[in-house]
Homo-oligomer: A and B are copies of this chain.
Amino acid sequence: MKDLLGRGEAVSVEKALSLILEQPLPAPPTERTGIENACGRVLSADVVSPEDLPGFRRSTMDGYAVHSEDTFGASEGMPAYLALAGEVLMGERPGFRLERGEAAVIPTGGMLPEGADAVVMYEHTNTAGDGMIEVMRAVAPNENVILRGEDVRKGAVVLRSGRRLRPQDVGALAGLGILDVEVFRRPVVAVVSTGDEVVPPQRRGLSPGEVRDINSYNLAGLVMRCGGMPLRKGIIPDDLDRLRAAVNECIREAQMVLISGGSSVGTRDYTAKVIDELGPPGVLFHGVSIKPGKPLIGGLGEGIPLFGLPGHPAAVSVCFETFIGPVLRRLAGEKPDGLPPYRTVKAFFGRNLASPAGREDHVRVAIEQRDDGVWARPVLGKSGLIRTLVEADGIVVVPPHKNGLYEGESVEVRLFNDSPC
């Protein structure tokens, strides 16, 4: 099947994304995982509370459990006097019932004794001798108390399917006594580098003309940060048959395939051809109005999303953040939350920069703290330079409707992900 849009016609960033995302993607398989390993995983089923939480009426303060009525009208000038009837111990059911006119010492988190319906904070009491206390402030019924089931009711949905679990979500699961959950498996993403000139970084004594494989290392890290499991499939020379064989192996082992390299015309053709042969639909777009990243190929073969990325490392990073990340998150079962996926920082743009209308430019920038504020200095240089990759802190996007940016113009920088895991 032919490219839907005709070869070489670049589509907009939005169009390219929607061409992929509107395709039916397979539902990710699921598995159970213990909560110790659940942080960062995506729930594949709603989590329902197995019980009322808390299971008992609990004090939220250090103080005295009381009958609230006994305190009505109490003030510093006219305290209420209550008889000390006992002490609630943490983690234990009180062994007594609180009668009218009585108070019991209770710690934060302690269980209210029967009869009591509120807690007076220590700070609003005095000891009065003879086993009596003074209460200098009235409390309302249920004041400083969490009722049984007030936090979570038995049967209530606590966390919804499609949620990526954060540390506190795992804490909540522990609090409910839920020890394992059903999650989507992390999608396996096959990564192939192509090019006769590309050699593995292990190779000693490079010949002139050879370059080491950068992209599969960059892509492996990007995939991991997006919740996928990278599967590096090595380097394939510019040969149609060998590329076809490699990609066919990939789609049996992975839920997504990334083919990087092929920055020369011939290789790009091979990648498009191989993706197209796997259709329908095959190639969905070939060429996007973005810089860097224009030669990007996106398609779907046997239900598996495939991308052909340009060989320049900077283009790889931009294409991943813009196109591959959103598809991978979908494949991971994540429900979009509409929140910005990047850390950002406001800055003044460092120089005048032209950008043709109709193209979305992703300008690498380094952040500089100057006396007059935060500046985003464009890291220029021929694409493909390693130096521009490591110098940049993030990206400034020049939208297609703009003709460029002015020096001193206020911009938002999308910072690169430098998370520790």
Contacts and interface: CB of A to CB of B under 8 A. Distances in A.
Interface of A: 35-36, 39-42, 53-56, 58, 60, 62, 89-93, 107-111, 122, 146, 150-152, 158-159, 164-179, 195-199, 201-204, 206-222, 224-227, 238, 263-266, 311, 313, 316-317, 332, 337-345, 367, 369, 382-387, 389-390, 393, 415-421
Contact of A93 (B150, B209, B343): B209
Nearest to A313: B171
Contacts of A210: 91
Copies in the complex: 2
Contacts of A207: 91-93
A227 to B, nearest CB: 3
Nearest to A122: B265
Contact of A212 (B40, B122, B177, B367): B177
Listed from nearest, the 5 A-B pairs whose CB atoms lie closest are A167-B221, A227-B420, A171-B218, A91-B197, A107-B264
Contact of A152 (B164, B217, B384, B386): B386
B343 A340 contact: yes
SS of A interface (majority): loop
Contact of A158 (B122, B197, B390): B390
B382 A420 contact: no
A390 B404 CA distance: 42
Contacts of A214: 171-172, 174-175
Nearest to A232: B36
Given A91-B196, A384-B60, A419-B225, A175 B201 contact: yes
A205 to B, nearest CB: 10
Nearest to A54: B211
A325 to B, nearest CB: 11
Contacts of A343: 339-344
